[in-house]
């Protein structure tokens, strides 16, 4: 392990100093295409424009331009967490950076926080949570599938370069295997988060934040209405984040051709003190909102 990898920055998955063998770099060509390369002494990364010797990068700084044998320039930089999560090996779908950012802010994750996460999936959100809570926090990640848990463990270890001291990965169903540890924040990324509400309500401390990440409108409806009917939480708030790039070149300023549209809905609510009922939220449901075909939970307050 290099001196740069032994400091506090490395525990956040951030490496500084010269590039070393065994770490990844991102090579970007003039058209903006990116290639993830694991540096190894004597190795060569082959492209359609010729090979790039790893030895030309190892020992040098990041942020340099290296030429392939065919004469094409490539920019070499260490990958950011965003780059790592969208290219990591995956079993389950990853929580994309735009949603992870909303989760961190919406739940107000802080250094030293005690956080419960389920499911761990491929470990993308896990990396973001661990970076936010730091070594003094605690993250309990639950994953039902052993194969997904193994992928998440490898990805998290790869990103931080070692086992993170604040992380405990538990394989099993959340409702059946949830521990007794009190937590400050709960993040549920699963098909039916409403089924876990009693279990997480028992460990989430008053004032703590619950976040549910779901993909479809039926899941969104069931999640929100179950939280309302269960009680003990503030009125749930649902959001969706859409990111649209812009093309800027001289006077040609316009929206980009691509965008990151719908990936999921986020539902946030805060835990109330035991026995407390929040003031009724005045709202007027649309006609038919709870008609005869509605099969979900119904609100118990007006």
My answer on whether 87 and 72 are in the same domain is: no
pLDDT in tens, 11-70: 677 888 999 998 889 999 998 889 989 999 999 999 988 999 999 999 999 999 999 999
For residue 292, being part of any structural domain is answered with: no
Cβ count near 34 (within 10 Å): 16
**Is residue 283 over pLDDT 80?**
no
Overall domain count for the chain: 2
Half-sphere exposure of 85 (CA within 13 A, CB side): 21
Q: Which residues of 130-147 are buried (b: 16+ CB within 10 A; e: fewer)?
A: bbbbbeebbbbbbbbbee
My answer on whether 97 and 55 are in the same domain is: no
For residue 14, being part of any structural domain is answered with: yes
Domain of 23 in residue numbering reads as 3-79
- Residue of 116, 91, 236 whose CA lies nearest to 180: 116
pLDDT of residue 280: 76
Residue with token string 């909303």: 102
**Is residue 9 over pLDDT 70?**
no
My answer on whether 195 and 264 are in the same domain is: yes
For residue 197, being part of any structural domain is answered with: yes
pLDDT of residue 3: 39
My answer on whether 93 and 210 are in the same domain is: yes
My answer on whether 73 and 211 are in the same domain is: no
**Is residue 301 over pLDDT 50?**
no
pLDDT of residue 6: 45
pLDDT in tens, 164-176: 999 999 999 999 9
My answer on whether 73 and 167 are in the same domain is: no
Lowest mean pLDDT across 24-33, 140-149, 187-196 = 24-33
My answer on whether 120 and 229 are in the same domain is: yes
Measured between alpha carbons, how far is residue 52 from residues 29, 69, 97, 100 in Å? Answer: 12, 7, 30, 34
Bond prior to 119 in cis (omega within 30° of 0): yes
**Confidence tier at 302 by pLDDT (50, 70, 90):** very low
Q: Which residue has the higher pLDDT, 3 or 258?
A: 258
Using only the alpha carbons of the chain, give its radius of gyration.
23
Cα 152 to Cα 90: distance, rounded to the nearest angstrom:
8
For residue 99, being part of any structural domain is answered with: yes
Q: Output the DSSP codes for 15-62.
A: --SS--TTSEEEEE-TT--EEEEE--TT-EEEETTEEEEGGGTTTSPS
Cα 217 to Cα 197: distance, rounded to the nearest angstrom:
19
pLDDT of residue 91: 87
For residue 291, being part of any structural domain is answered with: no
**Is residue 158 over pLDDT 70?**
yes
253-261 average pLDDT score: 84
Q: What is the CATH number of the domain that holds 243?
A: 3.40.50.150
Please, are residues 142 and 170 in contact by the beta-carbon 8 Å criterion? Answer: yes
């Amino acid at each position: 392990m290099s001196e740069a990898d032994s400091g506090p920055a490395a525990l956040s998955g951030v490496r500084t100093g010269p590039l070393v063998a065994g770490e990844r770099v991102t090579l970007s060509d003039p058209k903006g295409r990116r290639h993830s390369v694991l540096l190894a002494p004597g190795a060569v990364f082959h492209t359609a424009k010729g090979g790039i010797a790893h030895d030309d990068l190892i020992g040098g700084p990041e942020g340099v331009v290296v030429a392939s044998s065919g004469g094409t320039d490539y920019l070499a930089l260490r990958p950011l967490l965003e780059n790592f999560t969208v290219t990591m090996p995956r079993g389950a779908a990853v929580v994309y950076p735009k949603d992870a950012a909303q989760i961190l802010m919406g739940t107000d994750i802080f250094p030293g926080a005690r956080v419960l996460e389920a499911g761990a999936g491929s470990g993308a959100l896990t990396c973001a949570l661990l970076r936010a809570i730091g070594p003094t926090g605690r993250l309990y990640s639950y994953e039902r599938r052993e194969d997904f848990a193994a992928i998440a463990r490898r990805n998290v270890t790869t990103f931080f370069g070692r086992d993170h001291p604040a992380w405990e990965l538990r394989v099993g169903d959340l409702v059946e295997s949830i521990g007794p540890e009190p937590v400050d924040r709960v993040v549920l990324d699963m098909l039916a988060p409403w089924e876990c509400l009693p279990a997480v309500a028992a460990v989430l401390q008053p004032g703590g934040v619950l976040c549910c990440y779901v993909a479809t409108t039926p899941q969104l409806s069931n999640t929100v209405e179950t939280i309302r009917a269960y009680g003990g939480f503030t009125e749930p708030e649902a959001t969706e984040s859409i990111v649209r790039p812009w093309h800027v070149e001289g006077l040609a300023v316009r929206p980009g051709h691509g965008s990151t549209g719908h990936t999921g809905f986020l539902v946030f609510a805060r835990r109330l003190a035991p026995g407390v009922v929040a003031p009724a939220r005045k709202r007027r449901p649309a006609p038919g909102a709870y008609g005869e075909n509605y099969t979900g939970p119904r609100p118990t307050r007006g």
